[in-house]
Amino acid sequence: MASERIDEDVSRGGGFAREVVEIVKTVGLALLIALVLRVAIFEPYTIPSSSMEPGLVTGDYIVVSKWPYGWSRASFPFNPPLFSGRFLGRSPARGDVIVFRLPRDTNEVYIKRLIGLPGDRVQVKAGEVFVNGKPIPRQRIGLAEDHDAPGRIVPRVVETAPSGKRYVTFGGSADGEGDNTDIYVVPQGTYFFMGDNRDNSLDSRWPKEVGVGFVPAENLIGRAEVVMWSWREGSSLLKPWTWLKLDFSRFFERVR
């Protein structure tokens, strides 16, 4: 009888150990799949500022696709020095909304709209953006209230990129900071970005020491595709009691 109890206890102990091993394997496989998906296909981000208004507002939770421009070290968490350049790299199009690593600090991630490709000449005059001497076509469509700053009234302007993509910006003023610039010649292998909230965006109009400057191609992470959901002001993942403060009007909105 004693021998049977010992055998039974050993059997139970072995079964428990096997269950632990299976659980560890399952969790490890799930984490590996999640990492592969995050590196190769999609990655989520939360919009922390109003620089891309009106298309993206503070609290938007967006999905970014990784494959449109190929992959680089920037595609991986923490930007590890695995290789240089881009694997299966493809050129983005003017007008794309892109997530990238900040040149002066690759731990910081920014999102802006692509304005200038390598070799382009970009200039802002009286709030109007010129690329290679030609103004980006734009049309004023009235006034709106700033989503993040109620009471601030700004002009809504539709711009049309050379690709034909149309998007709405908060039009820059004629004499604000960054509304009249020198000509920027975009170096090879880099890109020029601007925020859609033209008078409230730190972007490539300012040198990398204080702003964004020219962004190397290998710093691109991916293209913003869709707003999955959006939290209103005051909401936080760290504050569960605020999780229901959602802006349902922005759910599944395409990033244009």
In sequence order, the β-bridge partners of residue 98 are: 112, 223
Residue 16 Cα distances to 19, 20, 28, angstroms = 5, 6, 18
Catalytic residue among 51, 72, 230, 235: 51
Q: What is d(CA 115, CA 42) in angstroms, rounded to the nearest whole number? A: 23
Q: How many helices (H) and strands (E) does the chain have?
A: 1, 15
Q: What is the pTM of this model?
A: 0.85
201 is catalytic: no
Which positions ≥6 away from 85 have C-beta within 8 Å?
Answer: 72, 217, 218
pLDDT tens per residue across span 230-255: 987 766 666 677 777 888 889 999 99
Identify the CATH number of the domain defined by range 41-254. 2.10.109.10
Select which of 50, 66, 75, 112 is catalytic.
Answer: 112
Is the per-residue pLDDT at 3 higher than 80?
A: no
Size of the chain in residues: 256
Ramachandran region of residue 199, left (φ > 0), alpha (ψ -120 to 50) or beta?
alpha
| 112 part of the active site | yes
- Confidence category of residue 39, pLDDT binned at 50, 70, 90: low
Element (H, E) at 21: helix 2-40
Q: Assign 111 a pLDDT band (cuts: 50, 70, 90).
A: very high
| Domain ranges for the chain | 1-40, 41-254
